[in-house]
């Protein structure tokens, strides 16, 4: 429901209900099924958001959302956004909000003899975020964004090894606190050519013990370029770097640099569209941390892979 209360005040109200008649999870091997359960559930959400233009260059957005999952908890989460247009080229934003994620089927019910046990008492995990953003257009071709953020996660859902019986189980852990910064330049190069450079630095640690969390890179860099080719095609290249990640055994994966290529067409002969995506273009070897259910401490990832798509437009 959208309603313009005044010329400077816009109200949005919405609701959602879902009923999952089946929620089936099966796992098997050569000897048959070792896990086969069905847990139907429903979920409901109600939200309201008010956008108010207090001054010609200053606006406030207030939001409130209520979520409830059958047997998986409920949550009420507010959000606040303050936007100030310092000039025609510069905008400042302050953003604060809460969110939550209900545990999924696997976290609640999965179990396997001598390996894993269920935990239907897992609670939803919650996060509080605060972010300050500055956006500035340097000229007609370059747009810059700088963001500083802090977040705190509570009741993080994570697999834990129970040393009393040697089984792994999903549990709610202590608080995680993180902070970071992100900088980006969006660049228009000539006619139809677009590029960007993105740098993200972050650190996330357990509040109790102060140790760093696993599977979280501290540095990420992305470069992207999109170029029109022969009037009917668009070629895009993205290169991204990630620093090492901590594994469950206290080791570190190696940093990696990957490149993806995507070629897409505009409508051809009015009805056809073509696209080709090549991930890990240079076939680099890299790994990410494994979980307790894995034999390896780190898992090798896919090499070069291709996706070819042809669409017909009616």
pLDDT given at position 52: 96
pLDDT given at position 163: 86
Write out pLDDT tens, residues 276-307: 999 999 999 999 999 887 889 999 999 999 99
Please spell the DSSP secondary structure of 39-57, one letter per residue: --EEEEEEEEEEEEEEETT
pLDDT given at position 132: 98
Tokens 């939001």 locate to 63
Write out pLDDT tens, residues 65-100: 999 998 788 899 999 999 999 988 999 999 999 998
Give dist(CA 110, CA 113) in Å, integer: 11
Give dist(CA 138, CA 155) in Å, integer: 42
Are 237 and 215 in contact by the 8 Å Cβ rule? The answer is: no
pLDDT given at position 152: 95
Please spell the DSSP secondary structure of 62-99, one letter per residue: EEEEEEEETTTEEEEEEEEEEEEE-SSSEEEEEEEEEE
Q: Is 125 exposed, middle or buried (0-12, 13-18, 19+ CB in 10 A)?
A: buried
Question: Would you give per-residue pLDDT tens digits along the chain (314 residues)?
Answer: 999 999 999 999 999 999 999 999 998 889 888 899 999 999 999 999 999 999 999 999 999 999 999 878 889 999 999 999 998 899 999 999 999 899 988 899 989 888 899 999 999 999 999 999 999 999 999 999 999 999 999 998 888 888 888 899 999 988 999 999 999 999 998 778 999 999 999 999 988 888 888 999 999 999 999 999 888 899 999 999 999 999 999 999 999 999 999 999 988 888 899 999 999 999 999 999 998 878 899 999 999 999 999 999 88
Q: Positive or negative CA dihedral for 128, 99, 248, 112? A: positive
Token pair recorded at residue 147 = 């963001």
pLDDT given at position 304: 97
Are 87 and 58 in contact by the 8 Å Cβ rule? The answer is: no
Nearest-5° Cα angle at 79, 77 to 84? 175
Are 88 and 63 in contact by the 8 Å Cβ rule? The answer is: no
Local structure of 108: helix, strand or coil: helix
Q: How far is CA 11 from CA 22, 103, 245, in A?
A: 36, 31, 43
User: Count of residues for the chain?
Assistant: 314
Token pair recorded at residue 232 = 């009917």
Closest CA to 219 of 251, 245, 242: 242
Token pair recorded at residue 110 = 């999965």
């Amino acid at each position: 429901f959208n309603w313009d209360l005044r010329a400077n005040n816009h109200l949005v109200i919405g609701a959602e209900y879902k009923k999952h008649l089946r929620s089936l999870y099966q796992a098997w091997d050569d000897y048959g099924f070792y896990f086969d359960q069905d847990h139907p559930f429903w979920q409901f959400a109600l939200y309201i958001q008010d956008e108010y233009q207090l001054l010609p260059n200053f606006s406030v957005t207030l939001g409130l959302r209520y979520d409830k999952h059958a047997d998986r908890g409920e949550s009420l989460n507010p959000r606040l956004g303050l936007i100030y247009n310092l000039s025609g080229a510069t905008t400042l934003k302050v953003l604060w909000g809460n969110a939550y994620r209900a545990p999924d089927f696997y976290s609640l019910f999965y179990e396997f003899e001598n390996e894993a046990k269920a935990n239907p008492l897992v609670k939803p995990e919650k996060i509080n975020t605060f972010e300050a953003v500055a956006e500035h257009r340097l000229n007609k071709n370059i747009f810059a964004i700088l963001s500083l953020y802090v977040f705190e996660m509570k009741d993080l859902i994570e697999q834990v090894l129970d040393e009393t019986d040697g089984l792994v189980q999903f549990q709610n852990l202590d608080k995680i606190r993180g902070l970071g910064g992100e900088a980006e330049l969006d660049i228009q190069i000539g006619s139809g050519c677009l590029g960007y450079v993105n740098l993200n630095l972050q650190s996330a640690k357990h509040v109790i013990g102060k140790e760093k969390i696993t599977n979280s890179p501290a540095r990420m860099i992305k470069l992207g370029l999109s170029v029109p080719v022969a009037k009917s095609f668009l070629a895009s290249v993205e290169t991204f770097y990630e620093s090492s990640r901590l594994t469950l055994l206290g080791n570190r994966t190696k940093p990696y640099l990957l490149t993806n290529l995507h070629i897409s067409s505009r409508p051809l002969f009015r009805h056809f569209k073509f696209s080709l995506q090549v991930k890990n273009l240079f076939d680099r070897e890299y790994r990410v941390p494994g979980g307790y259910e894995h034999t390896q401490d780190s898992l090798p990832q896919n090499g070069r892979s291709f996706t070819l798509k042809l669409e017909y437009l009616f």
